[in-house]
Structure formats: structure tokens, C-alpha cells
DNA sequence: GTCTATAAAGGGATAGAC
DNA sequence: GTCTATCCCTTTATAGAC
């Protein structure tokens, strides 16, 4: 997908990466522009020199969050799909050690403007492409199979984060891991 | 789950069913107490005679929305699990003809208080219980299998609603249907 | 039990100094 | 390009009349 881990040390990049972290972990509506700017070491007034609206930042933050989550996951995986799945469907992901925007923001996206929704759609398609690419067996994966894996991964983490029963969450994530690897 | 279709004609019930519809379709933060009360034919001030906070209403609305979605689905299913799945993973559901709170509010729940999260958790467990109960083959379903079906159903609709590519949404829902029936 | 009126707080966006 | 100050609107929650 063309991302790099290094962050350009510009204010704009600081704002985007701050937003990526705060929006995914706390939700778009629960984070004020002021929170993002404080986290980036700036103040409110400077925001509109970089973005025309909070929504425009949202779209950029989704892409940034996806890159960060992908980097975090792949770094620890040895580039094996089974490892990627293990890390993705882990309690650490549920607890927010890293944050896939596809799973953390899923039901927040529907209300937003088309720029945000298109961005989410594009990131989802990239996620599914990655499942194809990392598939070990060297043989092409059925599109339906890749989609099922994606839904079990993204949906599994999204639901696991919603519930407040840790023991049940473990069983749920375990069932999803089994399903994705089948 | 003990629900009935008839609505008691009290203000309280009107408020709850209004909230069930508005919260699921538009999201909790995007609906003001004023909107709920208007929809129920009342004004703001009357709200606090029924509930101590907006969050308390949220928990009740989730239960109400689950009952409504279950009624809608089962009425059209002939009580067959395959039909239930077909209806649940349909474009009509994605478009909001009915609204399962588990799928429409998934990532909104994590931020809320324990009362809301416990309610969501309870409704999810009831959903999984229903998969066991409606399983045709008369033989007990593996818990992991039931959870995988639930995640494909709930996650599938949640993701399908987020994306703004109708054609891709059809393929995604189709892949989920295939996966749940496997 | 429902109404109008209002308090109190928060947040998106803009203006203008530096 | 960043700052402080402010406008303006929305929202939750409360007070008090009927």
C-alpha cells in the first residue's frame, strides 16, 4: 500500500497521527479538535491552516491509522498470514495496543460524508487485498474466502471491544481465529 | 427472549421505541434527547420524569431495538435458520428496513458506561442462543460454530453499512451468507 | 406528568495580532 | 504558520408554572 513507518516531522503529520490515535481509540465524536491539537502540541486556531473541516481530517486519519496498524501487525508476524491473524484477533488489539480503524470505527462511518466513507471503503479493499497477498499456500484465494476472513477479523475485534465480559471475549476471539484459519 | 410485538401505549414505551429507532439508524451521539421526545410526540422537559440520563435510555433502547429486529426477522422467516440468515444479511437490512442494534451500534458501545455495555453483551449472548435454537438439524451446534455465524452476520452488516460501494456490498453480503451457511 | 424557560458546558469555525 | 479571543450554535440537565 505504499506507506512508510517514519513520520514527517511537520505539524500536518503530527495532527494526522494524533487524530489517528485519538479517533480510533475514543471515537470521532468524543474527540474535539482541541484534543487533537493539544496532543500534537498545538492550539485550536492553527487547525484550519491545515484542514478545512474536522471531517476532512477524519478521512486522512483513517488512512494513517490503517498504515500504523498494518506496520504494527506485520512487524511482529514474520510475514506469515497465520501470525497476522493471531496478532489481529488478539486481546492486545482489543485492549488498544494497536488500533485497526476498520474494526474500531466500523459503525461510526455510515453517518459521515462520502469522502470519509470512500476512504473507509478503499482501506477495506486494501485489507482484503492483503489477505490475498499474504496467503501462504501460493495458490489464489477465492474472493469469497478472503472476504469471510476479513469479516471475521474486523467484526470479531469490533464485537470483542463492545462487550464487557473478558472471559466471553476470549472465547469469541478464539472462535474467530479458528474460523479464519479454516 | 420474552418480548411481545404490541407496544404499551404509555409515554415511557413511546420514548423507548422512538429511541430504539433513532439511535440504531442515526447513532447515539447524532440523536438529541429533543429528537427522541419529538418523535414520541413530547417535549424535552418531560424526559427526566422517565429516565435519569440519556445513557439510561440507551440501554433500554438497545433491548427494544433487539426485540423489534427479532420480530421483524422471524415473522418473515418461517422459523428456519437459513431464512433468518438470508433476511439478516440482506440489502434491506443494510438499508435500514429493520435495524439490529448489535450490527448498527457495534463500535459505539465501547465508549459507554457499564450499564450500556452489559446490556449489549446480554443481547449478543441472546443472539447466539437463538442461533443454537433455530439450528435446523436438531443436533447441538458447537459453540465456536455459533459464534462464527454470529460474527459473520453482525460484522457483515456492520461493514456493509459503512462502505459506500453498493456493488461491493452485495458481494460482501453474499460471501457472508455463504460463510454462515457453511 | 407535561410544559416553557433557562442554566451551564462544550465544540466547530472564524478573526485578527504577531 | 501559530497564537489568543470570540462568535454562534447545540446539547444535557434543571427549575418552576400549570
Q: At the top level of CATH, which class does the domain B58-181 belong to?
A: mainly alpha
- pLDDT on residue A138: 67
pLDDT in tens, A29-73: 999 999 999 999 999 999 999 999 999 999 999 999 999 999 999
What is the Cα–Cα distance from A142 to A152, expressed in whole angstroms? 16
Q: Mean pLDDT throughout B67-95?
A: 96
Residue of B nearest to A169 (CA): B121
C-alpha cell at B150: 454470529
For testing the chain B interface, which of A115, A122, A131, A148 should be mutated: the one with the most B CBs within 10 Å? A148
List CB-based contacts (under 7 A) with strand C.
A 32-34, 44-45, 47-48, 52-55; B 11, 37, 42-46, 49-50
Q: Mean pLDDT throughout B28-48?
A: 97
What is the Cα–Cα distance from B60 to B102, expressed in whole angstroms? 14
Tell me how close the Cα of A138 comes to any Cα of chain B, in angstroms: 22
* Residue contact B117–A164, C-beta within 8 A: yes
Nearest by CB: A156 against B143, B151, B161: B151
- pLDDT on residue A4: 38
Note the CA–C1' distance, A19 to C17, in angstroms.
28
Neighbour-count burial of B155, counting CB atoms closer than 10 A to its CB (0-12 exposed, 13-18 middle, 19+ buried): buried
Rg of chain A on CA atoms, in Å: 17
pLDDT in tens, B167-178: 999 999 999 999
Q: How confident is the model at residue A5 (pLDDT cuts 50, 70, 90)?
A: very low
User: Average model confidence (pLDDT) for chain B?
Assistant: 93
Task: Name the CATH code of domain A53-181 (choices 3.40.309.10, 1.20.1250.20, 1.10.357.10, 3.40.190.100).
Answer: 1.10.357.10
Q: How confident is the model at residue A94 (pLDDT cuts 50, 70, 90)?
A: very high
Size of interface A-B (CB pairs under 8 A): 151
Q: How confident is the model at residue A136 (pLDDT cuts 50, 70, 90)?
A: confident
| CB B25, CB B65: distance < 8 Å | no
- pLDDT on residue B169: 98
Q: How confident is the model at residue B9 (pLDDT cuts 50, 70, 90)?
A: low
Name the residue closest to the C1' of D14 by its CA: B45
* Chain centroid offset of residue B173 CA: 17
**What are the phi and psi torsion angles at A58 (to 5°)?**
-55, -50
Task: Give the long-range contacts of residues A113-116, CB within 8 A, separation 24 or more.
Answer: A113/A55, A114/B164, A115/A55, A115/A56, A115/A59, A116/A55, A116/A58, A116/A59, A116/A62
Angle B114-134/A143-162 helices, nearest 10 degrees?
Answer: 140
Q: How confident is the model at residue A1 (pLDDT cuts 50, 70, 90)?
A: very low
Residue of B nearest to A94 (CA): B110
Residue with cell 456492520: B158
**What are the phi and psi torsion angles at B164 (to 5°)?**
-115, 30
What is the Cα–Cα distance from B101 to B158, expressed in whole angstroms? 10
What is the Cα–Cα distance from A144 to A165, expressed in whole angstroms? 31
The model's pTM is 0.95
Residue with cell 489517528: A20
Name the residue closest to the C1' of C16 by its CA: A45
- pLDDT on residue B10: 87
Nearest by CB: B120 against A102, A145, A163: A163
- pLDDT on residue A140: 84
Tell me how close the Cα of A71 comes to any Cα of chain B, in angstroms: 22
pLDDT in tens, B101-124: 999 999 999 999 999 999 999 999
Q: Mean pLDDT throughout B74-86?
A: 93
Q: Which residues contact A52 (CB under 8 A, 6 or more apart)?
A: none
Distances (CA, A) of A54 to A32, A57, B74: 9, 5, 41
Nearest by CB: A152 against B103, B151, B178: B151
What is the Cα–Cα distance from B54 to B145, expressed in whole angstroms? 36
For testing the chain A interface, which of B159, B166, B170, B182 should be mutated: the one with the most A CBs within 10 Å? B159
B chain contacts of residue A145, beta-carbon cutoff 8 Å:
175
Q: How confident is the model at residue B8 (pLDDT cuts 50, 70, 90)?
A: very low
**Residue B89's CB: how many other CB atoms inside 10 A?**
26
Break chain A into its structural domains and give their ranges.
53-181
What is the Cα–Cα distance from A182 to B28, expressed in whole angstroms? 36
* Residue contact B117–A161, C-beta within 8 A: no
* Residue contact B148–A27, C-beta within 8 A: no
Task: Give the long-range contacts of residues B123-127, CB within 8 A, separation 24 or more.
Answer: B123/B62, B123/B63, B123/B66, B124/A159, B124/A162, B124/A163, B124/B150, B124/B154, B125/A168, B126/B1, B126/B66, B127/B66, B127/B102, B127/B154
Tell me how close the Cα of B22 comes to any Cα of chain A, in angstroms: 12
* Residue contact B125–A168, C-beta within 8 A: yes
Q: Mean pLDDT throughout A123-145?
A: 91
- pLDDT on residue B140: 84
Query: A56: closest CA among A138, A110, A143, A115?
Result: A115
| CB B131, CB B146: distance < 8 Å | yes
Query: A173: closest CA among A155, A24, B166?
Result: A155
Amino acid at each position: 500500500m505504499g506507506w512508510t513507518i517514519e513520520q514527517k516531522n511537520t505539524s500536518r503529520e503530527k495532527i494526522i497521527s494524533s487524530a489517528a490515535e485519538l479517533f480510533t481509540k475514543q471515537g470521532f465524536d468524543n474527540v474535539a479538535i482541541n484534543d487533537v491539537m493539544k496532543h500534537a502540541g498545538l492550539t485550536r486556531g492553527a487547525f484550519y491552516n491545515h484542514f478545512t473541516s474536522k471531517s476532512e481530517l477524519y478521512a486522512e486519519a483513517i488512512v494513517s491509522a490503517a498504515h500504523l496498524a498494518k506496520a504494527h501487525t506485520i512487524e511482529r508476524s514474520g510475514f506469515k498470514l497465520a501470525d497476522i491473524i493471531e496478532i489481529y484477533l488478539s486481546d492486545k488489539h482489543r485492549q488498544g495496543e494497536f488500533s485497526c480503524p476498520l474494526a474500531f470505527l466500523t459503525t461510526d462511518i455510515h453517518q459521515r460524508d462520502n469522502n470519509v466513507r470512500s476512504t473507509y471503503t478503499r482501506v477495506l479493499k486494501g485489507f482484503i487485498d492483503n489477505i490475498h497477498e499474504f496467503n501462504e499456500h501460493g495458490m489464489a484465494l477465492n474472493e469469497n474466502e478472503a472476504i469471510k476472513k476479513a469479516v471475521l477479523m474486523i467484526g470479531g475485534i469490533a464485537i470483542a471491544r463492545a462487550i464487557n465480559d473478558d472471559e466471553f471475549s476470549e472465547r469469541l476471539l478464539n472462535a474467530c481465529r479458528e474460523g479464519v484459519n479454516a
